[in-house]
Amino acid sequence: MRFAKSLIAAGALALSMAAGAASAAEGVKIPAQKWNHDGFFGTFDRAALQRGFQVYKEVCAACHGLKQMRYRNLAGIGLSDAEIRAIAAEYETTDGPNDDGEMFQRPSRPSDRFKSPFANDNAGRAANNGALPPDLSLIAKNRVGGENYVYALLTGYGDAPAGVSIAEGMHYNKYFPGHQIAMGAPINADGVTYADGTKATVEQMSKDVSTFLAFTASPHLEARNSLGVKVMLFLFIFTGLLYATKRKIWKGLH
């Protein structure tokens, strides 16, 4: 039952995100959310990242891969080495060849890439009525609006406004191009049970998984921000030293 719900959710997200770029062209305004990782001094909320990973693992991973991520990257969301090894060991990775020249399956290691939900793209299409669920590794970079779009799409389901006709089998979403989407809402209240006790509302789960996908798209964001601050500080001090040196050298010539 849970697996079936995950497939439906994944299919909805696949169709929705595939049209992300088109939404801008159709005049759909994506509201901006407040994110801890925004700005020059932004840092990721580790609790939100871990909750978002839980949503991804329990709801999205049945159809959506993270092919750019390795299990060891989960250290960036605050998981310990033991936790990462335990998560990796839940999956199998193809390795080899062995002494007999055959490939074999073994428990995944932290250095392995995330397990793909399908053996190949054709298998992914066959399991989703011809639509290939997109890989989510860089979704927050590849869609117009980034994590704002992901959050808007996931929370944009509702009743159609008066006078708006929805085709049979379609659902209304105010942030989807044309506002009609074939799949129902992928995230439902209490769809997961958060380990930290946070109430799993649609808005909370959508914000958390959007934060996690922002991390998978930019896992080194904090390091870049930190380096940027150091560079700016260095340039500020260096400029001051140059100015002081100039005044000292040219003082007697004025």
Task: Encode pLDDT of 54-72 as tens digits.
Answer: 999 999 998 899 999 999 9
- Architecture, CATH, for domain 2-69+114-219: Orthogonal Bundle (1.10)
Q: Do 66 and 93 touch, CB atoms closer than 8 A?
A: no
Within 8 A by CB and 6+ apart from 118, the residues are 63, 65, 124, 127
State what percent of residues in the chain have pLDDT above 70.
Answer: 86
Tell me the domain boundaries of the chain.
Answer: 2-69+114-219, 81-111, 220-254
Strands 171-172 and 104-107: unpaired
Report the pLDDT value the prediction gives residue 254, as an integer from 0 to 100: 56
User: Tens digits of per-residue pLDDT, 198-243?
Assistant: 999 999 999 999 999 999 999 887 777 777 767 778 787 878 877 7
pTM higher than the cut 0.85:
no
**pLDDT bucket at 7, cuts 50 / 70 / 90:** very low
> Between these two residues, 24 and 117, which has the higher pLDDT value?
117
User: Which 8-state DSSP code applies to residue 133?
Assistant: P
Question: What does the alpha-carbon distance between residue 170 and residue 53 come to, in Å, rounded to a whole number?
Answer: 29
User: Tens digits of per-residue pLDDT, 13-40?
Assistant: 554 454 444 444 456 889 999 999 998 8
